[in-house]
A and B are shown apart, each in its own frame.
Chain A
Amino acid sequence: MTPEELKGLLLVSSIKIGVVFAVIMIGVIMIIWVERRGSALLQDRLGPNRVGPLGLLQNVADGLKNFTKEEVMPLQADPVIFVMAPMMSFVAAMLLFAVVPFAAPLPPFDVTLPLIGHVVHEGPVAMVIANLPVGFLFILAVSSIAVYGIVLAGWSSNSKYAFLGALRASAQMISYEIPLAMSLVVVLLLAGNVPLGDIIAFQQQTTWFVFAATLSWLLFHVATFAETNRMPFDLAEAEAELVAGFHTEYSSMKFAMFFIAEYTGLITMSALIATLFFGGWDIPFTTWDEQEATNWSFGTLFRVGMTNLFFIGKTFFFAWVYIWVRWTVPRFRFDQVMHLGWKILLPISLGYIVVMASAVLVLERLGMVHDWKYGMALFAVNVPLVALCVFGLDRDRLLLGARLRSQAET
């Protein structure tokens, strides 16, 4: 690598990191606004509407307030871990976005800039901070780290409510990591590789994985609800039971970091669903967005902009789904969550891997090329499976209705 190329890589990476960080932080503020105004919409009230137009600046004001609040630390808290826990949550949540591609690649460049000098970038500039070869495995790994932040927060607070919340969070997140990962095995089977860029390319070639691996999407979506600690899985916070769960004892900016981490997780998970199952930045029914970027023309830039808009749109839609669900349903009970994770989602995902592996093998043997017919053939396999799961599963059994439990005991 020549010095020019190194400079080019550093330049591009630092710009991408800066932009993505800023966009996520603004996105968090926006999504909190959407959550508050959206819940107000669902609940027939106004929501915050005083600070800025339509209350848009309410969260900025709240953030400022959090900065100026006193930091309260419980007397018997473990001071080191107590301070470290929100950082861990925050960093883990922020890291996740590093591997998510957010637009079509930019063309290569070879320019001389003031101050920096001659910089070169060979090959298209992928619109992702780190195009890691380990792809979504990185996401699974880092999202597991996020649970440490919660567990340590609950443990170090030396509060019983926080402790119970942390216990619940750890048990819940461990049990949902597995269906989460298992549901992605099918994606791996189809795409044959783990980097998210390859997965998007494969979806462009065939169909979105929401068709080719519908059940996988459903499992993944449910598991991400648990992974992000959102309703109906917000047992770790469970306001009515544990006051505020693991962050009961946190105040001011330390609390705000958990808050930001939660919503960053929300955005990242939405982006992941969009990327893994809904084509990422792919614009449906067209192929012009998939052309190789070769020169710096208006068309190329327009294409990158449009794909980015589509990515943001898809992400926003799934973020809205999270919000929508949160304000609609009641909360699970702890044992129901474990039951759902271990006894429903895990067997389904394992069985689904077997079925899909067979289906992929059969299609390979039939010599099907990877085009839209390939995706539709897999969709035909998926439809009865989804129907079976959605309608076949007894709701009482799904939720371990306590009535059945008491019947079993007698």
Chain B
Amino acid sequence: MSETRSVELSVGTTGIDEHGRPVTIPLGVRTGSAEVEHEPELGSEHMLINIGPQHPATHGVLRLVVELDGEVVVRVVPHIGYLHSGFEKLGEYRHYNQLIPLTDRMDYLAPMSNNVGLALAAEKLMGIDITERCKVLRVIACEMSRIISHLVWLGTTAIDMGAFTPFLWLFQEREHVYNLQEAWTGARLTTTLTRVGGLMADIPDGFEDELRAWCRKFPKTLDEVDKLLTRNALWCGRTQGIGILTAEEAINFSLSGPMLRASGVPYDVRKDLPYLDYETYDFEVPIGENGDVYDRYLVRFEEIRQSIRILEQALDRLPDGPINVDDPRVILPDKRDAMNDMEAMIFHFKQVMEGIEAPVGEAYFPIEGPKGELGYYFVSDGTAKPVRWRVRPAAFINLASLPKMAEGHLLSDLIAINASVDIVMGEVDR
């Protein structure tokens, strides 16, 4: 007599064996001496293997069901949704400003850039022009986000290939940015930096000097990592020619960001659909030639350097002035005014209770997030809550190209290719 708990198995098989019974695998500890009746029959000679949702190399809770012929990947099926939080639906019950904390939790490696994207989309919907200082500060926020996101990408990709050391070097640099982020917003991860029409807070005293000092110091670490990897024969051997996507394929897959640019398509939202006065900044957009993992590495690496350039320019031009628009319907009044001034109190009450009313219409605003084109789309019926909120998550769309890239490569290459996509499951699943 055995006490075997069972769980149904559905890893790409029909889940039914030849006798018509559901295929099960035993779970837990067996008591008694009964044998396991049937091992799951998983196709012919190919082996079906589950990579994830808990696996060192899936960067979150991505689950890849991989069909292997020896070590060669025959088929990859990405299973997503393990981190699904229903953000888009939640957004239909939130004021526009209340959406911003949700965006923190999407691409949690670059929260400030998400915040900026959402604020810009809402402002486009409402026709709000933000102040000059706010624009520059938002550029700083975006580029800081891009750098830390790429740093995590670089570090984790290096770990996936077995190089552990760059990860810790880069995370130490990332820590500096996080400290700055914390000083600015009070939070390291869930920044909720922006508000519709402005920012939640101005930068604190000393922020500029700290950031400037970091911008000077940080390229040294980058150079060290560069020396360790870029011309390393092992690194080149592991990344060159792996996961090639041609420019045509990349466009057909609707890729964006470094994935697209590594394939040789010079599309960067900052250059092509400039926002926040990006057209006035002097920076280059790196383009790859071969569209392989190595080119994606080079492109992201160069983007970090270009982001530093943008940061320095932004710090140079940072104007004085208000960070918020002067519109009491959009921006919460000062706390003291709200407590003492009747009119301010009414505005405060209306904003907190009713939110900011947007005109009827729709708006889509793309920004160049660290992972690619990050777009927010709103449909408004004239109330303070969107009827439909849709996010165009770069990582989700980029991930769709994974099977195309990985099939035919080795298992090790699958890990490298998966790393090169730069996914964040919070953004993929939303």
Contact (Cβ within 8 A) A164 B411: yes
Total count of chain A residues near the partner, CB < 8 A: 41
Residues of B within 8 A of A328 (CB): 163, 165, 228
Contact (Cβ within 8 A) B410 A333: yes
Q: Residue B360 at the A interface, CB < 8 A?
A: no
Range of interface residues on B (Cβ < 8 Å): 35 or more
Contact (Cβ within 8 A) B165 A240: no
Residues of B within 8 A of A403 (CB): 240-241, 290, 292
A229–B161 Cα distance when bound, in Å, is: 16
A327–B233 Cα distance when bound, in Å, is: 16
Contact (Cβ within 8 A) B232 A243: no
Chain B proximity mask over A192-216: 1 for CB below 8 Å, otherwise 0: 0000000000000000000000000
Chain A proximity mask over B414-429: 1 for CB below 8 Å, otherwise 0: 0100000000000000
Q: Residue B251 at the A interface, CB < 8 A?
A: no
CB-CB contacts below 8 Å: A303-341 with B: 327-336
Contact (Cβ within 8 A) B412 A241: yes
Instruction: State which of A61-69, A92-100, A283-291, A392-400 sits at the interface with chain B.
Output: A392-400
Q: Residue A234 at the B interface, CB < 8 A?
A: yes
Instruction: State which of B49-57, B100-108, B146-154, B196-204 sits at the interface with chain A.
Output: B49-57
Contact (Cβ within 8 A) A240 B415: yes
Q: Residue B159 at the A interface, CB < 8 A?
A: yes
Contact (Cβ within 8 A) A76 B36: yes
Given the known inter-chain contacts A75-B26, A334-B71, A401-B237, please indicate yes or no for A329 contacting B163, CB distance below 8 A: yes
A233–B410 Cα distance when bound, in Å, is: 16
Residues of B within 8 A of A336 (CB): 237-238
> Residue on B with the closest CB to A399?
B237
A222 nearest CB across to chain B (Å): 13
Q: Residue B244 at the A interface, CB < 8 A?
A: yes
> Residue on A with the closest CB to B58?
A240
B165 nearest CB across to chain A (Å): 5
Q: Residue B413 at the A interface, CB < 8 A?
A: yes
Residues of B within 8 A of A395 (CB): 233, 236
Residues of A within 8 A of B169 (CB): 43-44
A328–B169 Cα distance when bound, in Å, is: 12
Q: Given known contacts A336-B238, A400-B237, what 7 new A-B pairs fall within 8 Å (CB)?
A: A75-B30, A241-B57, A329-B232, A333-B413, A401-B237, A401-B241, A404-B241
Chosen A-B contacts, 13 in total, with CB atoms closer than 8 Å, are: A42-B165, A45-B168, A75-B36, A164-B71, A164-B411, A234-B162, A241-B57, A328-B165, A332-B234, A336-B238, A399-B236, A401-B241, A402-B241
Question: A residues engaging B (CB < 8 A)?
Answer: 39, 42-45, 75-76, 160-161, 164, 168, 231-232, 234-235, 238-241, 243, 327-336, 395-396, 398-406
Question: B residues engaging A (CB < 8 A)?
Answer: 26, 29-30, 36, 39, 47, 49, 55-57, 71, 158-165, 168-169, 172, 228-229, 232-238, 240-242, 244, 290, 292, 410-413, 415
